[in-house]
Amino acid sequence: MILVTGGAGYIGSHFVRYYTQCRPAEKIVVLDNLVEGHLEALEGLSNVHFERGDINEFDAVKGILKKHSVDAVVHFASYCYVGESQENPSKYYENNVAGSISLFRAMDECGVKKLVFSSSCATYGVPTKLPIDETHPQNPINVYGLTKFLIERILEGYAYTKDWSFTALRYFNAAGAHPDALIGESHAPETHIIPLALKTALGTKEQLHVFGDDYETPDGSCIRDYIHVEDLASAHLLAVEKLSEQKGGQFINLGTAHGASVKEIVALCEEITGKKINHSFSPRRSGDPARLVADPGKAVSYLGWRPQHDLRSIIETAWKWEQNKRY
Ligand SMILES: NC(=O)c1ccc[n+]([C@@H]2O[C@H](COP(=O)([O-])OP(=O)(O)OC[C@H]3O[C@@H](n4cnc5c(N)ncnc54)[C@H](O)[C@@H]3O)[C@@H](O)[C@H]2O)c1
């Protein structure tokens, strides 16, 4: 059985739903403290056993691993706000790094040696070449990215010393929602551009603030690589399946190789919603690179993964969700 930490969160819940659809005969355990997650995101899934708890609770996590005979972990649980990580680094070291160490120790004591980890393109920092492949130097420029970088190194130690098999998936910008709008993105506060633009279109947000329109990009706004959350879910399932034949650690980018600028996002959101999006530009935010675009070649060659959704599909599904949000 697999254990999914953070499975009530945005990406974790899409993975859990996808997994139960692809493997209807299998059960899955979700561990989430619901600090950021939503129990509603798991509604209607009969094969999911939910455990409310924290990855830092060593004895409880050990109990869950044993009780459910867990043989692999998919580890999404984390705090994810870059700005907050700069203001309160201890919160991020304690939850993301110390929490992961406690989880790994519990896994080690229970003989669980397989793991898929949610890493991030934030581990690369400011790119020195584009697109970014997995050999690009990692120089995180914020505490959030540093926590992901540190966890990757800790996992390497477990692979060397304890024979673990793990895959760290370095996501670029996750976006979109389940095509039926059953689940979707719901962060508080929301910091991601697509839901913020759509909230502005819907009128639940007055104005969209865009940081910087003087970058060295064709239209002056930042370029990012947006990946549909359902494509992330399918990559996780492939990564889990691969672990049984894998030795040691793998690091794999999850992006599409297509960059879109903030201005292009706003224009496409206006076209899809049929509404004008009231937006303004403020000065650049420090530490925001002009462009971040993935080379996803390894995800394709190693995992056999192919993203199914383009930017239009990302915004269409996110818009459907935004208008029908249940949580
Ligand atoms: N959203 C993105 O664009 C993006 C990009 C790169 C990487 N990631 C990573 O993907 C993962 C999921 O991101 P998300 O956007 O779904 O975030 P999210 O906040 O929606 O989900 C995280 C979940 O983890 C839970 N959680 C946090 N700390 C916990 C703890 N100590 N014990 C138990 N549960 C805990 C939260 O309650 C939440 O349900 C995170 O690790 C994040 O760093 C996200």
How far is it between the farthest Cα atoms of the chain?
Answer: 56
Which atom of ligand 1 approaches the CA of 174 most closely?
3
Closest listed residue to residue 303, CA positions, set 258, 264, 252, 265:
252
* pLDDT tens digit sequence for 249-288: 999 999 999 999 999 999 999 999 999 999 999 998 877 8
Residue 193 pLDDT grade (very low, low, confident, very high; cuts 50, 70, 90): very high
Q: What is the amino acid identity at position 156?
A: E
**DSSP of 99-119, one letter per residue?**
HHHHHHHHHHHTT--EEEEEE
Tokens of 198: 């759509």
CA-closest residue to ligand 1 atom 1: 174
Domain ranges across the chain: 2-175+227-255
226 is a catalytic site residue: no
Question: Which of the residues 10, 144, 215, 226 is marked catalytic?
Answer: 144
Determine how many CB atoms are found less than 10 A away from the CB of residue 213: 18
- For residue 40, what is the DSSP state? G
**Residues having CB within 6 Å of any atom of ligand 1:** 5-6, 8-12, 31-37, 54-56, 76-78, 80, 95, 99, 118, 120, 171, 173-174, 187
The residues that bridge with 273 in the sheet, in sequence order, are: none
Q: How far apart are CA 5 and CA 2, in angstroms?
A: 10
Distance 200 CA to ligand 1 centre (A): 24
Q: What is the mean pLDDT of residues 213-241?
A: 97
Distance 170 CA to ligand 1 centre (A): 13
Give me the pLDDT at residue 281, please: 92
* pLDDT tens digit sequence for 90-146: 999 999 999 999 999 999 999 999 999 999 999 999 999 999 999 999 999 999 999
- For residue 30, what is the DSSP state? E
Residue 191 has pLDDT above 80, yes or no: yes
Ligand 1: residue of 39, 80, 147, 229 to mutate (most ligand atoms within 8 A of CB) is: 80
Distances (CA, A) of 281 to 109, 213, 265, 284, 319: 52, 7, 14, 9, 23
Superfamily in which the 2-175+227-255 domain is placed by CATH: NAD(P)-binding Rossmann-like Domain (3.40.50.720)
